[in-house]
Amino acid sequence: MENLFEIMECLARFKVALATYQFEGEVEYWWGTVKPRAGENPMTWDRLKEMMDNQYYPRDVRRMKEREFLSLKQGSLSVMEYATTFNDLSRFAPH
């Protein structure tokens, strides 16, 4: 979604509506239970991302992935396999 928003030069006020429109199945049900009700403060894109991370990547899982990233070694992986794994895990340790 971030790439799409960048290409579309999407305004911040539209991001949540466009992203949540794409929700299906379990995520759509989850969204129905957490989305702001009439009169509440509108959801921001950053808040939605934080809530989704908390729902689908619990803190323990994120910490495990961060440790996996920090201890990553190429070992018997090819350079491409290592780079792919590095990139996949790097989002869990942005610092």
Tokens of 76: 């018997």
pLDDT of 66 reads: 92
pLDDT: which is higher, 88 or 37: 88
| Distance from C-alpha of 24 to C-alpha of 21, rounded to nearest angstrom | 8
CA distances from 70 to 15, 17, 78 (A): 32, 35, 18
pLDDT bracket for residue 40 (50, 70, 90)? confident
Tokens of 47: 């808040």
Query: What pTM, to 2 d.p., does this model score?
Result: 0.70
pLDDT bracket for residue 6 (50, 70, 90)? very high
